[in-house]
Chains A and B, each alone.
Chain A
Amino acid sequence: MLIGVSIIVFAMVRAIPGDPAQIMLGQTATPSQVAEVRDQLGLNEPLPVQYLLFVKDAVRGDLGTSLVTGRPVTAELLERLPATFELTAFAMLIAILVGVPVGVISAVKQYSLLDKVASVLALTGISLPIFWLAMILIVIFGVNLQLLPFPGRLGPTTAITSITGLVLVDSLLTLNFAGFWDGLLHLIMPAIALGTIPMAVIMRMTRSSMLEVMGEDYVRTARAKGVAPWRVVTKHALRNAMLPTVTVIGLLAGLLMGGSILTETIFSWPGVGQITLESISRRDYAMIQGVVLYGAVLFVLINLLVDILYAVLDPRVRL
């Protein structure tokens, strides 16, 4: 799969019009400078040769050098990865912490007022474009109420010592509570913007699979045995209902990666999503390849993780 992705990306990137050498040097470049840079970048080699060189290095963890910053792509990605990880993890956390309980309650209290409100909210959440929600959040909480700070990960005067690159973790490790608070406040709006769609999906998924499970014989049996109602829900029903939800969470990782491009751009979040858009518009071939390969690898890894989680949830898979 990764080979397929790498070939497709490589070919697509080359098909984009525009000369990276020209873009790098800008409007003031002379023809000889452009030719020299093209040569330096290996852009004069035939395409198959360029591809083989790329694969050879990629296998060794060397994704090449960014045409724009001149630094190794791997280093650029590693530098930005913590920001994206922190944002997506927080978004996912919000999505799960809100989505699962609300989904469960909606199923248990089917057709109640709460169920109806939750259904409308889920539908709205799924239909809201990320950038729009982000803007509205900024207008209400950032500009008018001035409750939440933006953009970026920290305020201009907040400094924290970088250890893991994760603001919340680093600030706690160095006992910098002001930094932790500032980082947390900066996270809220982008995480909500990014987490709303997954939250809605998880909510709907949990609700429907809970409804299905609640009608199963073993749930009826448990009830008949006189198990406490909340225990039936949490112990017997939820665990089985979580299977489809976990699958969906794995697939949502792809959505989060796409969404992080928009969210990071709007909130000036210095992560992988921001550099994705930037590298595309600047024809940074090496960087685009790196970002897409990173995305593919991450997607594979997350789905592997989901498969493992199956085993935990469903002993039948553990053979």
Chain B
Amino acid sequence: MARTRGLRNISRGDFLKLSGAGLTGAVLLGVAGCGGGETISGGGGGASGSTLTFGRGADSVTLDPINATDGESFRATRQIFDTLLDFAPESFDLQPALAAEIPKPEDGGLTYTIKLRPGIKFHDGSALDAEAVKFNFDRWRDTKNKYHKGGGGQTSEFAYYSAQFGGFDDDSIIESVEAVDETTVRFRLKETQGPFLKNLTMSPFAIASPKAIMKDVGGFWQNPVGSGPYTFESWERNSQVRVQAFKEWWGADLPASEGFGGPKMNTVVIRSIPDNTSRVAALTGNQLNAADGLVPDDVPAIEDTDGFKLEYRPPNTIGYLALNNQVKPFDDPRVRQAFNYAIDVEKIVETVLRGTGEVASNYMPSLLPFFNNSVKPYPFDPAKAEQLLEDAGVSNLETELWYMPIPRPYMPDAKSVAQVMQQDLKKVGVNAKLVTYEWGTYLEKTGEGEHPMCLLGWTGDNGDPDNFLNVLLNSATATPTDAQNVAYYKNPEVDELLLKGQTSIVESERKKAYYKAQEIMHEDAPWVPIAYVEPPIGLQESVQGFAPNPTSSEPFNTVSISGGK
């Protein structure tokens, strides 16, 4: 996911200067708030009616979707490529995309037959048919395939394929992909996979033009050809990706309510502006039509500026405080529950996140299927916490609370979160020292379980509980190094339920397994769940039809600018 610049390794002088920049940023926003609103329709350099200029915090890494893992690459490839299935706008409900309908599992979930919409063309004029789909899957799966390469210098080497489908070659869950006729593709699986269809919605599994790949697989990452609403025009590295409307897009005449229609803009420019304050200034200075990657502190300034509005991305993240379940006293569930009672999470969401999030009750975001609504967050109850600590024989606990040094999508200001927690814990007799490291070191050390407690979080990939619970809380991911399960939570019963949820394709069975797992986790309390953050996106008021997608990249086909030139 998007990495952010750390400031801890530059010289002290520069560090001081840069930390001052934060203050200046606040001043800047204040001033911007006073006077920015009057010349909106003037639309300076960037913002004219036929061009959408979208600001973001980092450049794309590659434009070959299967070889990307970062959100900023997908933000661009979403415009150029389509996937077989997709999520309905602002939700995790499956809907057909290149596929004409959602396929039903056959052979108990070992076969899926996908009917493609007829007559779809890639931007280079070649046909997006069953053979093209087969070509893509074969390229991804077979390491000996002639085209199993490309992606540029920073390629992920088809990482998402191996992560979602069990591996390459013989390890792949997808055994074969067969082009039955021009518009029918048959997938045969080795074993059933609960989230199989959800995986097909993921940006990395977008269908690319075989003709373009065969022509120049090495250059495809910077000259991508797909079938999406916009065709690729240019990529000025570290600066911007520019795409042009594809008038023959297959989705042009489909209903807007399902996220189709358009593309309404002639040109879309996705600009990289790494400095957060400059990006907000560029938005309020009308150099951008929209900007992503805002921090909660920007929210009031943009809200108060005339001519601008905010949209919130539906939450697909969770931020949490992981208690190291293998370390005393956190090996005692009573202590972990006590921490859940002692910390006023509601206050954190209100004051630190400034309402850009929802208090977490479970170990995955509420938008996901199989979210157990009957599990309620622990109430803020210091007396109860003290009682539990006493029962567990814990008094005057000296411990450490680790927090991330940089803003993350799931927790934009970890230090403030940690400070509020520290105060709450002090009231129940727990003295927590705040500790942080440079980001790379932080991941390394928490992945080795050196922490008693650490703040961390996760952004989901495919809108399935498997992608949260199995990644973050299965004992298999509580590894000695590079652990994802940084709570080192190990409960065999939960492991079994998570496996059931992953392999079953029967909705009711999956639901039962995940509901039960959530109840057990709530009791075991390996974390203090904090919030499902809803990242804000700033827009000019004239920007219409922007539907934020929970997966953090959305196609801009529905976006238009009213009153533009």
Interface residues of A (CB under 8 A from B): 16-20, 22-23, 26-31, 34, 65-66, 68-71, 79-80, 129-132, 135-136, 138-139, 142-144, 146, 149-153, 155-157, 159, 182, 185, 258, 261-262, 265-268, 270, 274-275, 277-278, 280-283
If A27-B1, A144-B31 touch, does A151 touch B443 (CB 8 Å cutoff)? no
A275 contacts which chain B residues (CB < 8 A)? 238
Instruction: Specify which chain A residues have a CB less than 8 angstroms from the CB of B31 in the assembled complex.
Output: 139, 143-144
- Known contacts A142-B285, A268-B275, A270-B238; is-contact A17 B437 (Cβ 8 Å): yes
State in angstroms the CA–CA spacing of A156 and B268 once bound together.
9
Residue pair A278, B5 in contact (C-beta under 8 Å): yes
Q: Which residue of A lies closest to B52 (CB)?
A: A156
Q: Chain A residues with Cβ under 8 A from B61's Cβ?
A: 69
Contact yes or no, B234 A23, CB < 8 A: no
Judging by beta carbons under 8 Å apart, are B237 and A156 in contact? no
Q: In this complex, which of A79, A155, A267, A270 has the most chain B Cβ atoms within 10 angstroms of its Cβ?
A: A155
- The proximity string for B residues 266-308 relative to A, scoring 1 for CB distances below 8 Å and 0 otherwise, is 0101011111011001101111000000000000000000000
Determine whether the beta carbon of A138 is less than 8 Å from that of B154.
no
- The one of B39, B271, B440, B481 in contact with A23, judged by C-beta atoms closer than 8 angstroms, is B440
Cα distance A25–B42 when bound, in Å?
Answer: 44
- Contact among A23, A34, A146, A282 with B44 in the assembled complex (CB-CB below 8 Å): A146
Q: How far is the CA of A34 from the CA of B481 in the complex (A)?
A: 10
B444 near A22: Cβ-Cβ < 8 Å: yes
Whether the pair B36, A150 counts as a contact (CB closer than 8 A) is no
Contact between chains at A281 and B5 (CB < 8 Å): yes
Structural contact, A274 and B238, CB atoms closer than 8 A = yes
Give bound CA distance, A312 to B199, whole Å: 70
Name the segment of B18-26, B114-122, B376-384, B536-544 touching the other chain: B18-26
Q: How close is B299's CB to chain A, nearest CB, in angstroms?
A: 17
Q: Does B35 touch A at the CB level, under 8 Å?
A: yes
Contact between A152 and B285 (Cβ–Cβ < 8 Å)?
no
Known: A22-B444, A23-B3. Contact between A135 and B24, CB under 8 A?
Answer: yes
With A135-B25, A265-B275 already in contact, the answer to whether A70 and B5 are too (CB < 8 A) is: no
CA gap between A17 and B443 in the complex, in Å: 12
- Tell me whether B152 is interfacial, beta carbon within 8 Å: yes
Cα A17 to Cα B484 in complex, Å, equals 21
With contact pairs A17-B437, A22-B440 given, residues A135 and B44 touching in the complex (Cβ less than 8 Å): no
B→A interface (CB under 8 Å): 1, 3-7, 9-10, 14, 17-18, 20-21, 24-25, 27-28, 31-32, 35-36, 39, 42, 44-46, 48, 51, 53, 61, 69, 152-155, 163, 234, 236-240, 242, 267, 269, 271-275, 277-278, 281-282, 284-287, 437-441, 443-444, 447, 458, 479-482, 484
Assess whether B274 is in contact with A156, with CB atoms less than 8 Å apart: no
Cα–Cα, bound, A162→B25 (Å): 34
> Which residue on chain B has the smallest CB distance to residue A146?
B44
Q: Decide: A19 near B275, CB < 8 A? Known: A26-B1, A135-B21.
A: no
Check B278 against A266 for contact (C-beta < 8 Å).
yes
Query: Closest chain B residue to A132 by CB distance?
Result: B24
**Which residue of A has the minimal Cβ distance to B35?**
A144
Cα–Cα, bound, A170→B105 (Å)? 58
Residue among A22, A28, A143 making CB contact with B484, cutoff 8 Å? A28
Find out whether the CB atom of B284 lies under 8 angstroms from the CB atom of A143: yes
In whole angstroms, what is the CA distance A298 to B138 when docked? 49
Q: In the complex, what residue of chain B is closest to A141 when comparing beta carbons?
A: B285
A270 touches B32 (CB 8 A): no
- Assuming the contacts A18-B444, A31-B479, A265-B275, asked whether A157 and B269 have C-beta atoms less than 8 A apart, the reply is yes
A138 touches B285 (CB 8 A): yes
- Which residues of the partner chain B approach A31 to less than 8 Å between Cβ atoms? 479-482
Q: List 20 A-B contacts (CB under 8 A).
A: A17-B438, A18-B439, A23-B443, A27-B1, A27-B458, A28-B163, A132-B20, A143-B28, A149-B45, A156-B46, A157-B51, A261-B14, A262-B14, A265-B274, A266-B277, A268-B272, A268-B278, A278-B5, A281-B5, A283-B440
Nearest-neighbor residue (CB-CB) of B273 within chain A: A268
Q: Are A146 and B21 in contact (CB under 8 A)?
A: no
Residues of B near A268 (CB, < 8 A) are 239, 271-275, 278
Cβ B482 vs Cβ A30 within 8 A: yes
Specify which chain A residues have a CB less than 8 angstroms from the CB of B1 in the assembled complex.
26-27
Note all chain A residues with C-beta closer than 8 A to B277: 135, 266
Rounded to whole Å, the gap between the CB of A194 and the closest CB of chain B is 14
A65, B153: Cα distance in complex, Å: 9
Complex Cα–Cα for A131 and B441 (A): 28
**10 nearest A-B pairs in the assembled complex, by CB-CB distance:** A70-B153, A18-B440, A156-B269, A149-B45, A143-B285, A270-B238, A155-B45, A23-B440, A281-B6, A71-B153
B285 to chain A, nearest CB (A): 4
**A17 and B239 alpha carbons, distance in the complex (Å):** 30
CA distance A281 to B9 in the complex (A): 7
Chain B residues, CB < 8 A from A261: 14
Instruction: Give the distance to chain B from A266, nearest Cβ to Cβ, in Å.
Output: 5
Say how far B402's CB is from chain A's closest CB, in angstroms. Answer: 15
CB contacts (< 8 Å) of B242 on chain A: these are: 156
Does the CB pair B287–A149 fall under 8 Å? yes
Are B267 and A157 touching (Cβ within 8 A)?
Answer: yes
Check if B240 sits within 8 Å of A274, measured CB to CB: no
Q: How far is the CA of A143 from the CA of B301 in the complex (A)?
A: 13
Contact B234 A159, beta carbon cutoff 8 Å: yes
Q: Closest approach, in angstroms, between the C-beta of B6 and any C-beta of chain A?
A: 4
Q: Assess the A69–B154 pair: CB atoms within 8 A.
A: yes
Given contacts A26-B1, A139-B31, A261-B14, 20 further A-B contacts (CB under 8 A): A17-B441, A22-B440, A22-B443, A31-B479, A31-B482, A130-B17, A135-B28, A146-B285, A150-B278, A152-B273, A153-B239, A155-B45, A157-B269, A268-B239, A270-B237, A270-B238, A277-B10, A280-B9, A281-B4, A281-B5
Q: Is the CB of B39 within 8 A of A146?
A: yes
- The CA of A261 and the CA of B482, in the complex, are separated in Å by 33
CB neighbours of B25 from chain A (8 A): 135
**What residues of B have a CB within 8 angstroms of the CB of A69 in the complex?**
61, 153-154
Q: What's the Cα separation between A79 and B275 when bound, in Å?
A: 21
Taking CB atoms, residues of chain A closer than 8 Å to B6 are: 281
> CA–CA, A26 to B442, complex, Å?
12
Q: Is the CB of A139 within 8 A of B21?
A: no
A152 contacts B438, C-beta separation under 8 Å: no
Bound CA–CA A308/B355 (angstroms):
63
CA A22 – CA B437 in complex, angstroms? 14
Given contacts A138-B281, A281-B6, contact A149 B46 (CB under 8 A): yes
